[in-house]
Chain A
Amino acid sequence: MDYIEHKMVEKASGESLPVDNSFITPLNVMLLSFLAYTLYNFMSPPKPLVLPPEPAPIVFRTFTPRTLLPYNGTSGMPVYLAVRGRVFDVSAGRNFYGPGGPYANFAGRDASRGLASHSFDEEMLTKDLDGPLDRLEGLDEEQKEAMQGWEERFEGKYLEVGRLVSQEEMGNMTSQTQTGGGGEGEGGNKAAHVVAA
């Protein structure tokens, strides 16, 4: 309060500051710069929105048991598993199928027999990676139905990223394409009827 009284006395004593009537005063310069900044903000166009690109799509490829093996979730690889020749990307279920999970045995392997028999043991997986695929002999109707159910669940929940063939079939396929025999090329879930333009 003292301060304000002191100021009021000062003002009342009548001394007034000299009024500077020129255009360029510090106050005017500040106001002009404020005006210029406002105009610049309004006149400049809004920046176009650029969204980051989506991750590149996964290429559908043909796996052999040996090439599928690295995809078991270790060292940053995604988790794949195969059911009845179809390879699914189950990285979303890393808790189950990834390393340390209850079904980790299935990662990077052909899980058909294991899923049919509801067993996660080592015996359910094919031992010989270079040999033919597990032909699923000795499974009864109930087990085949169970495997069908599992396959449909995978189809609905996970992305199909490839197919599994044995080492021998892969050798046949590559030699066919090399001799120009019109090898099968892509697998896939769409039958393409290409109409020539």
Chain B
Amino acid sequence: MGVFDAVVGPVDNALTGLFGQWNAYSTAIVTTLVVVVSYYMMNMSDPDTHPGLLARQASPSRVRQEGESATYRSRYIPESMPLTTGLNVKDAGASKWSRGRDGDLRDIWKRAVTGGSQDDGPVAGKTGRILTVLGTQNIIEHSLDDITRQINLIGQHISQQGGSRVALYLPNSIELIATLFACSFHDLTPIILPFDQPDEHVIDMLRRSAADTVVTAPGSFPFDSVVQAYPALRQLIWVVDEGNKHLDWNEVPKGMGSSVNVSTWSDILCDSPADAKTAVPERSDKQPKPIVTFWAYKSGETEEMVEFTHGNIASGIAGQLSAIPSVDRFSPSDLFLPADPLANIHTLVLTLAALYSNASVAFNSVAGGSDDIVLATQGIAPTVLVAPPAMLLKAHEEMMDKIGALPRKVIHGFQSRSLSQYGVMPGASSNDSLRPAIGTTPGKLRLVFVAERAGAGTKPLSSSVLSGMRIFTGARIVYALSAAKVAGAVTQTHVHDYRVHQDGEYSHFGCPLVCTEFMLRDQGYHMTTDSKAEGEIIVRGPCVSGGEASVGEVGKIREDYTLGYAENSG
């Protein structure tokens, strides 16, 4: 047909002419195309979390007061709902749908000993292990019954001797945790002092907190000066280790006076038979006494004394537990290692959260003394780590030095892109051989908590350091902002937030937890207008000591509604 020939003929001729040029090179190019497409199809993966969830994190209130910004909350707690006040602890035998109570440290230990209950995930009755790391070869496991026995005996001893305010000047150890729980069960006030401070600061803290009992380790406690300068001290318990067990610790040096009753931890335990008192004491309805902590500012400055009720702590723990998606939560298969002193309230809240979730917990007395991540994690293979920012900064610098030259830098660049642009953790690469040797088994670490301590002079981390550390540890890193008067964290980055941002020198601190809300109060030229919100960070919530407190730093709200430090302009 004429039409057919006129239209299709030329088209057909053109196509034949074009594809008639097919030669070997064409085949090669098409093969490359097929290989490229199939490679990307196989390796494409969805980001760990939806980008929309990261693009807007905190939710502001719709009304704000003059001179302040809106109140920012976690998006999971609408304006009309109250913030999470506690752990929703239900007594045994209560209905699954009954309203639980807030809980305190006694409930935490009870649950650590008896194992998780059926209705919230972990296998019923499974408990975690408690370990002490004394070096690469010496890992001691403590049975939960044994620790309960220590709790009972120490608590009874202190209260029988008339003590009521117990100061704890210890590194991270079983004795610290046991005394803390002993005070909760026996109606004593625990006072946690930051370890390894100058003598005058120790005396000053004892005086301000009105401690009448001290539990401490020999060698670090300035016994002589304290007894002279602080006559109100009534009782002293030495925690003696294997090395100096043979010395007689009961004798008080001449001229010190006999006002101080000195004993040792092991003596108190030996007084009772080994299988007595291994039952968790029955819970009385009396509220346990609040916990006193000291927030250490820059070295040389006076520490701030803060009193936390058990409700504050329970609320902080609940906030931390719900901040992690249920897949990544603490479980009995986790090994939790606090490489930061437990005198930090953020680290303490996380450790209690791990105990409450029946995870295994390891204590290493090196914590706080060294910034070496390899040293802090030696001997065990932790899956969850709490680290001070200086430790991550140092590890990052060392790794970047090792990476140095070009081919490794390119690989590192690809891994960084995988994190920041595509939102997935990078896979294995040849750079892995340079990684720091964290723990005995590489690759076990899955979660790292770092907290910026407001006002304490720690250098905030930049988001490229955090991203680099995600690659080098193979773990997800949560960066939190912690403050003196807040149990837990003020705000915290999302577990799957791997973004690297270039605006501002320091990383953002994420969005509030379900137990905190914050607003920014105008301060000088940092103010709130229709287009920006800056000012002094004020936190409110059931985990804040006193209900409301200032963080002491100036912050701003970023465009993804996360909190960051405000830069001083000009």
Contact = CB atoms under 8 A, between A and B. Distances in A.
Contacts of B281: none
A193 B23 CA distance: 82
A84 to B, nearest CB: 18
Contacts of A50: 55, 559
A27 B18 contact: yes
Interface in A43-59: 45-46, 48-51, 53-54, 56-59
A38 B36 contact: yes
B55 A49 contact: yes
A159 to B, nearest CB: 6
B525 interface: no
B52 A59 contact: no
Contact of A60 (B26, B66, B546): B66
B551 interface: yes
B20 interface: yes
Interface stretch (A15-23, A132-140, A167-175): A15-23
Contact of B65 (A3, A27, A49, A60): A60
Contacts of A110: none
A60 B22 contact: no
A26 interface: yes
Interface residues of A, number: 46
A17 B17 CA distance: 8
A19 to B, nearest CB: 6
Contact of A3 (B8, B29, B36, B484): B8
Interface residues of B, number: 59
A25 interface: yes
A60 B23 contact: no
Contact of A58 (B17, B62, B551): B62
B32 A35 contact: yes
A12 interface: no
B488 to A, nearest CB: 17
B443 interface: no
B314 to A, nearest CB: 20
A27 to B, nearest CB: 4
A195 interface: yes
Interface stretch (A72-80, A99-107, A184-192): A184-192
B422 interface: yes
Contacts of B549: 195, 197
A48 B30 CA distance: 32
Interface string A177-189: 0000000011010
A25 B552 CA distance: 69
B485 interface: yes
Given A20-B21, A51-B52, A160-B63, A31 B422 contact: no
Contact of A38 (B5, B20, B33, B63): B33
A32 B31 CA distance: 11
A193 B499 CA distance: 37
A17 B20 CA distance: 7
Contacts of A142: none
B538 interface: yes
Contact of B63 (A32, A35, A60, A194): A60
A35 B29 contact: yes
Nearest to A155: B80
A57 B22 CA distance: 65
B59 to A, nearest CB: 8
A159 B1 CA distance: 76
Nearest to B59: A54
B394 interface: no
Contacts of B9: 3
A35 B1 CA distance: 39
A187 B455 CA distance: 31
B441 interface: no
A3 B5 contact: yes
A161 to B, nearest CB: 6
A21 B23 contact: yes
Contacts of A128: none
Contacts of B484: 197
Given A57-B60, A186-B67, A46 B421 contact: yes
Interface in B75-98: none
A61 B66 contact: yes
Contact of B64 (A21, A27, A60, A195): A60
Interface string B540-570: 0000011111111000000100000000000
Given A39-B36, A193-B548, A31 B64 contact: no
B562 to A, nearest CB: 13
B421 A31 contact: no
Given A17-B20, A48-B51, A197-B551, A58 B56 contact: no
Given A45-B422, A186-B65, A195-B547, 5 more contacts: A20-B21, A35-B33, A59-B65, A194-B538, A195-B485
Interface of A: 2-3, 7, 17, 19-23, 25-28, 31-32, 34-35, 38-39, 42, 45-46, 48-51, 53-54, 56-61, 159-161, 185-186, 188, 192-197
30 contacts: A3-B4, A17-B16, A20-B21, A22-B23, A28-B21, A28-B23, A31-B30, A31-B33, A38-B36, A45-B422, A48-B51, A48-B55, A51-B55, A56-B530, A57-B62, A57-B63, A57-B64, A57-B69, A57-B70, A58-B64, A60-B65, A159-B63, A161-B63, A186-B65, A193-B547, A193-B548, A194-B538, A197-B484, A197-B485, A197-B550
Which 10 pairs, one residue from A and one from B, show the smallest C-beta to C-beta distance? A45-B421, A57-B70, A197-B550, A49-B51, A197-B552, A56-B530, A186-B65, A57-B64, A17-B20, A25-B21
